[in-house]
Structure 1
Amino acid sequence: MPGKQSLHPRKRPKQVRGELTRERILVAAAQVFAEYGYAAGTTNRIAERAHVSIGSLYQYYPNKDAILVELVDRHLDAGEDALRRQQECGLPDMVEGAMRVLVRVAIENHLDDPELLRVMAEETPKSPELLRKVQEYEGARVAYLCELLGRYPEVRVGDVHMAAQITVNTVELVVHKVIATREAVDLQQFEDELVAMLTRYLAPAG
């Protein structure tokens, strides 16, 4: 098991050139992990794909675990940014619309590459910092959804906070599972079915 320090980048570049090199390494790593899997996605392959020397790669990352942790960190940031942009667009009139926003943001944030999703879910070392970020990410979404559900009179659940937890985790887990499958998926049909399921749970008819 890698030590705590080995899960952190060695340095953050201060110049544009260094940041571009670091970005090339991350892009290359995502491609290599998706193409070869994690075990065969070596730092040598990543360096070759990024067109940098292996020594240059190690100036930024001590190993591929640290690279994968940063890719997951960016994945979480992208989800937060997407949800924030949706929030700024205003609230839908009905809870069904709110569920569609939640589901669509999750789907769009998982479309990069199914193979890479599997690697991130199955192989990422669980550093304390990453686990804390995941918890904060989930907590922020649950808090937002709690506030959101309270604005819709059609919502009828016994415990709004519990309902928000169930909804957030259902969306994240189901979307990840379906998008990461190797089978072709009709994304619009998938979105519609998941939105309908959540809407019936939160706002049952009758």
Structure 2
Amino acid sequence: MPSADRRLQPRRKPRQVRAELTRERILAAAAHVFAEYGYAAGTTNRIAEHARVSIGSLYQYFPNKDALLAELMVRHIDRGTWTEADRLDLSPGSLEPLIRALVRDAIDHHRDDPQLLRIMIEETSFSQDLVDAIDRHGRSRVEQVRGLLARHPDVHVRDLGAAAELIVFTVEANTHKLMADPRTLPVETLENELVDMITRYLRGNAGGNDEGSGA
């Protein structure tokens, strides 16, 4: 995990509704400007103009455009909670639909704006808030997936913890890469190939080592 850059720490945490609305307007403007003009041309002056605030007001909340992009990435990560996981079928024969639900959730989370996603992946520097968000999301998703694998009768792997980490990394890394440039591979192909690959992996040691099938 990269170390946090102190220059990116937001300057002001809103305590009043009006200040929070201003901050939200600045972030919405930053997302629009980065997506429309790109990162290099997405200056703080242009963002302030789009948000209809003075440049001084923008700097009260964010010290630079790197801090704005880092905060957009934090929000992107925090929106990635897999809320349907607790309602999935874990009966025998349901492993493929379970993995498809996991992959589709990741894809759906990255559909909105490929241009902004590409900029966030390529240009974002690491604020402390972003480092914390990545760690928080990673631990939560791995534990969530591990819990599902532990309860599914069709899963046969040697190490549930390692399997969960590999699956989460594989899904998120490939989803980030291909959804940022969907022209490289059809989304349906991405989904189907990831589902097939992960499902075969989880079934691969069936009848061999039973250690992984427990909690």
**TMscore range, shorter length:** 0.7 to 0.9
The answer to whether the 8 A contact 2:11-2:61 is kept is yes
**Alignment correspondent of 2:69:** 68
Trace 1:124-135 onto structure 2 (pairs within 5 A): 124-135=124-135
**Alignment correspondent of 2:211:** none
The answer to whether the 8 A contact 1:156-1:202 is kept is yes
Are 2:47 and 1:50 aligned?
no
RMSD: 2.1
TM-score (norm 2): 0.84
TM-score (norm 1): 0.87
- After superposition, the Cα gap between the structure-2 partners of 1:187 and 1:53, relative to the gap in structure 1 and judged at 3 Å, is same
Give aligned-pair identity as a percent. Answer: 52
The answer to whether the 8 A contact 1:103-1:171 is kept is yes
**Alignment correspondent of 2:212:** none
- After superposition, the Cα gap between the structure-2 partners of 1:44 and 1:122, relative to the gap in structure 1 and judged at 3 Å, is same
**Alignment correspondent of 1:149:** 149
The answer to whether the 8 A contact 1:32-1:41 is kept is yes
Unmatched segments (≥5 aa) in structure 2: 207-215
**Alignment correspondent of 1:33:** 34
Which string of whole-angstrom CA distances, capped at 9 and with x for unpartnered residues, describes residues 27-52 of structure 1?
11111112222122100111111122
Instruction: Compute the displacement of 1:90 (Å).
Output: 4.3
Instruction: Compute the displacement of 1:10 (Å).
Output: 1.7
CA distance in 1, matches of 2:162, 2:85: 21
SS of equivalent to 2:7:
helix
Instruction: Compute the displacement of 1:131 (Å).
Output: 2.0
Instruction: Compute the displacement of 1:88 (Å).
Output: 4.2
Instruction: Compute the displacement of 1:87 (Å).
Output: 2.7
- After superposition, the Cα gap between the structure-2 partners of 1:58 and 1:191, relative to the gap in structure 1 and judged at 3 Å, is same
Alignment-mate amino acid for residue 44 of structure 1: N
- Count of residue correspondences: 201
Instruction: Compute the displacement of 1:185 (Å).
Output: 5.0
Which string of whole-angstrom CA distances, capped at 9 and with x for unpartnered residues, describes residues 157-197 of structure 1?
22211111110000000001110115175433432222122
Which deviates more from structure 2 when the two are superposed, residues 179-188 or residues 32-41? 179-188
**Alignment correspondent of 2:113:** 113
Unmatched segments (≥5 aa) in structure 1: none
Instruction: Compute the displacement of 1:205 (Å).
Output: 9.2
The answer to whether the 8 A contact 1:95-1:149 is kept is no
CA distance in 2, matches of 1:200, 1:4: 41
CA distance in 2, matches of 1:59, 1:187: 41
Alignment-mate amino acid for residue 139 of structure 1: R
CA distance in 1, matches of 2:197, 2:96: 10
